[in-house]
Amino acid sequence: MANSNLSSWQIDGEEVEAVTDFIFLGSKISSDGDCSHEIQRRLLLGRKAMASLEKLVKTKDITLSTKVSIVRTMVFPVVTYGCESWTIKNAERRRIDAFELWCWRELLRIPWIARRSNKSVQQEIKTNCSLEAMIMRLKLKYFGHIMRRQGSLKKTLMLGKMEGTRRRGRQRRRWIDEVTEAMNMMLLELRGAVTDRCTWRAMVHMVTESQTRLND
């Protein structure tokens, strides 16, 4: 990837332009390693996917529970594509939460001027697992999958440490920090926990089902 001091480089004698971001396998990769650009892009794509279901949302021939299932099947995967690698800041957590609630309000056809609490919307939808919790579940499943692999380059990269010291002041949030915080366990403990697939699956389910929204 590029950095602020590099405008181009050469590969096998051919000059390659350095860019600030590019799309690779459907995800936006930024030179600064910040996932917020891709998260915002995915939320925008999710809004477009939700808008394409306008006729379905308005019809009275389909039950609310079926409509909820359709949104979870056809809209949320658009947003969560590639989320296993995201490091999510609180600002992005709020955006993800706002997007989900916007989807439910669209589904219930609640006017934007209506004074309706988010809690009442969630109760009517009857959803136990938030979109943010779904993202965390995918990340934890991915973590367990990689940790169980022996001699994996992905595992080496995930657990590896770079030489040198971290910058002064507030440290940048790391991907592995989200995993340890969500599970409330040290990395050494997690290494042992993931060895049993059934136990790990149950732990992930318990953590994500009990996860609260940032705004709650």
Domain spans of the chain, in order of start: 25-128, 136-160+173-209
pLDDT for 4 beyond 60: no
The three-class DSSP label of residue 9 is strand
Segment 53-77, tens digit of pLDDT: 999 888 889 999 999 999 999 999 9
Q: Give the pLDDT band (50/70/90) at residue 2.
A: very low
pLDDT for 216 beyond 80: no
pTM (2 d.p.): 0.83
Does residue 26 contact residue 85 with C-beta atoms inside 8 Å?
Answer: no
Phi, psi angles (nearest 5°) of residue 42: -65, -40
